[in-house]
Structure 1
Amino acid sequence: MKQADIIKNLTDKELLLNLYFTQFLMLGLALIGSRILTGNWLYPFTFIQWNVNHIIIGITAAVFVVVVELILAKFLPRKWFDDGGINERIFKGRHPLHIGFISLIVGISEEVMFRGLLQTTFGIIPASLIFALIHIRYLHNYFLFSFTILLSFFLGFLFYLTENLLTVIICHMLIDMLLGLCIKYRLFLYNGQK
């Protein structure tokens, strides 16, 4: 059974539970991987710094990415943004605080794994490519997959620039949260083409 068929057979509650399960699994694997690769369970967290300038960079970068995606949605065919309806099912019926919570969990777990552990251990290229590959639902859509690769390298560059995991966690969280709110409140203005 293809992934799209499996997802269609899940209820929205099961889809959300699957999201939480995979994110907590990823965080657990990051901690175990950290222990194996560095000898320190919490190695990725050593890259968190409370730096106001880095926080502003993360916020600004997130707004930039969201604006770019909204502009692209206005001018490119709608089918280029089709992820099989997963993001809509996850975010459409959620309370804004729940969207923020989901985004926080995803931002922390994915950035601890990909920037905090994989990028610091193996470099930006492997970390960014693996990040794109775990977003398996985008593999059938060349535009979304390409956009995810670019976004992954963008986040990797932010981490390289600031050496601050908090910068990319904030950026990733805000991208997901703002796009989730756009989905909830139907703020994507597609150009109408299928």
Structure 2
Amino acid sequence: MKKFDIRNIRFKKVNLDQIDDRLLLINLYSTQAITFIIGLVWLLFQHRNPFLLFSLPSSLNFLLWGLGLAVLVIGVDLLISRFVPEDVGDDGGVNDRIFKNRPVWHIAVLSLVIAICEETLFRGAIQHQIGPYWTSIIFATIHVRYLRHWIPTGLVFSISYALGWVYIHTGTLWAPILAHFIIDMIMGFVIRFRREE
């Protein structure tokens, strides 16, 4: 029997066109699962109860804050996309590949999974440790596909900071989860139903 040697592992850069749809979805769901697990472990290291983090608040004010932030972000994003050349906001075609040919229900599911997993880690765990500013820098850096252009990088940072502010103001993780979910879902629908020129 051959012994496993870690030095034999090789990594190579893969172009987005080399990944089929199935592998893209596996990658997306697995990275979100890893994000969620890291968030839960981080919460446990902070001696915080994840169940309390996800408890529904007694007031429904978080719905207004989440919806309001989502409407604001979508409006700003659509305004920017109207006046800024498309190549400035280019993410390498990742969002098109994820949302373009996806059924409506799957866009909603993807958006919900992404919102819950990312908000658990970033707002629930990391922001509690280092605050909204540094959390937003990490959040923008994690979205590496936008780093080639300053406008989408600044937009991701601003959205993250706004999500953090809403979390602090409402005291519930459900407000940023709701906002993140609506933003991703609506932008996914825009990509899905956009007319080709």
TM-score by length of 1: 0.88
- Select the residue among 83, 88, 91 that pairs with 2:91: 83
Determine what percentage of the aligned residue pairs are the same residue: 34
Query: Where does residue 16 of structure 1 map in the other structure?
Result: 25
Measured in 2, the distance between the counterparts of 1:125 and 1:22 equals 23
Deviation at 1:34, TM superposition (A): 1.3
TM-score by length of 2: 0.87
Deviation at 1:41, TM superposition (A): 5.3
Query: Where does residue 133 of structure 2 map in the other structure?
Result: 125
1:141 paired with 2:145, answer: no
Deviation at 1:7, TM superposition (A): 2.5
Aligned residue runs from structure 1 range 25-104, under 5 A: 25-36=34-45, 38-40=46-48, 42=50, 45=53, 48-104=56-112
Note if contact 1:115-1:165 (Cα within 8 Å) is conserved in structure 2.
Answer: yes
Measured in 1, the distance between the counterparts of 2:123 and 2:52 equals 8
Between the two proteins, the alignment pairs up a number of residues equal to: 187
Equivalent residue letter for 2:186: L
Aligned CA-pair RMSD: 2.1
Structure 2 unaligned segments of length 5 or more: list them: 1-10
Give the 3 Å change call, closer, same or farther, for CA 44–18 of structure 1 in structure 2.
Answer: farther
Deviation at 1:51, TM superposition (A): 2.9
SS at 2:182 equivalent = helix
Which one has the largest radius of gyration? 2
Give the 3 Å change call, closer, same or farther, for CA 44–12 of structure 1 in structure 2.
Answer: farther
Off by >3 Å, runs of 4+ in structure 1: none
Worse overlay, 120-129 or 107-116:
120-129
Measured in 1, the distance between the counterparts of 2:103 and 2:81 equals 24
Give the 3 Å change call, closer, same or farther, for CA 154–129 of structure 1 in structure 2.
Answer: same
Note if contact 1:49-1:165 (Cα within 8 Å) is conserved in structure 2.
Answer: no
Deviation at 1:43, TM superposition (A): 6.5
Measured in 2, the distance between the counterparts of 1:15 and 1:50 equals 39
Measured in 1, the distance between the counterparts of 2:144 and 2:26 equals 18
